[in-house]
Amino acid sequence: MSGRDGRPQIVLGVCGGIAAYKACEVLRRFTETGHDVRVVPTEGALKFVGEVTWAALSGHPIATDMWTDAHEVPHVALGRAADLVVVAPATADFLARAAIGRSDDLLTATLLTARCPVVLAPAMHTEMWEHPATVGNVETLRRRGVVVLDPAVGRLTGADSGIGRLADPEEIFATARSVLTRGAAAPLDLTGRHLLVTAGGTREPLDPVRFLGNRSSGRQGYALARAALARGAEVTLVSANVALADPAGAKLVRVGTAEELRSAVLEAAPSADAIVMAAAVADFRPASRAGSKLKKTDVDPEPISLVRNVDILAEISANRLRNGQVIVGFAAETDDVIANGTRKLAAKGCDFIVINEVGENRTFGAAENSATIVGTDGTTTVVPEGSKEDLGHAIWDLVAERLG
C-alpha cells in the first residue's frame, strides 16, 4: 500500500524517553529517501520533543490524541494507510501496553488497526529491559510477528551504562527499510532462530604496528545481520576490524585475529541454528610477533615465516554442535571462480557456499554484490548484481528453507 502520491506510508511512533530526540534522525532518514511519514508521539514524548519539531520535519500536522478531528477516526485512518509502523524509542510501558493489546492512546490504538509490518526499537534502563515482565512482553510481541530490536549497550541516562540504549538511528532505519522492502506478505520466517554471522577481515600481527590483512570491509556480513533481524531472528555478529555502525538489535562480538574469531564462533555455535561465515579469515599468520616495531636497517630483512591458521569453516562443519545446524561459507575467488568455489564446498563440508568474484576494486568495500550460491543438494542459485542486503536475503531464503 502507498499514499496517493505513490510514496510508502510510514507511521513513526515516539514514546516518552530521553532518547526521543534521536527519533528526529530516524524521521529525517525516511523523509530524505522518499517516504511519507506521519509522526504519532505519546504524551510523554512531547515533554522531550515538541509538536512543532515533528510537524516541521515530517511536513504534516501532528496527531496527538484520538479526540482531535474525531470524525476522521484518526487511529483507524493511520493504521489502515500505513505500509510500516516504527516505534523509536519504545519504552517498557509501551511494550507492556502493546503486548496486552491496550488502546488507551493514539499510538497503541493505531498499532491495533495496522495490518502492516511493525518494528519496535526499545530504549530504557538496564533493569527495566532485563525485568521478567519486559522479557515476557518482548517474547509475546515477537511471537506475533513484531520485529523487536534489542537495544544497544552504552551510556544511559545520568552516569549509568549498560544494555538499554536506543540503537543507532541509521541502523534502525536500515532494518526498518529492509522490513518494508520485504512487504507485509513476507513471513518473519526466522523468528525464534539464533543466527551466527561473521564479518570483516582478520589481522595477523607482525609487530605492534604492522599486520597481515585483507581488503574486507564487513559490509556483506553486516547486511546479512540486518536482513536476518528484519526477518525476526536473534543475531550474534562476530565482527573483525570493521568500521561500520552496529546493526540495530544484533549482539556484537568484536575480534581482531583469526584465533580470536575462532574462539568467538566456537562459543556462540552451540546455540546457533545457522552459521554464515562471511568474514575473510586469514589462512596464515606470522610464526612469531616482534615485541617492538621492526626497524629498517641496511641488512636485508629475514623472510617472514608463516604458520597455518585453523580452518574454522571446516572445523565447525565437521563438528556440528547443534542438530540440524545449517552452515554457509563464502568463497572469494579471482579466477576459475565457479569451479574453485564448488571445490571449496566439497572440501569444507558446509551446506552452501557463496561464490564471489573479488579483486582490488570488486566486491570488497563496494555497496553492491553478486554471487552464485551452490548447495550440497545440487542446487545453484545465481544472485544478480544488487545491494548486499539483497544477497543477504537470498542467502537467508535458502537457509530458512533448509531449516524447515
Instruction: Name the grid cell of 164.
Output: 538499554
Contact 309, 285 (CB under 8 A): yes
Distance CA 132, CA 96 (A): 12
Contact 148, 141 (CB under 8 A): yes
Distances (CA, A) of 144 to 54, 115, 138, 388, 401: 30, 12, 10, 28, 21
> Cell 573483525 appears where?
240
Given the residues 214, 309, 323, 340, select the one marked as catalytic: 214
Contact 164, 123 (CB under 8 A): yes
Distances (CA, A) of 214 to 242, 333, 365: 12, 13, 11
340 as an active site residue: the answer is: no
Distance CA 36, CA 34 (A): 7
Point out the residues that are catalytic: 214
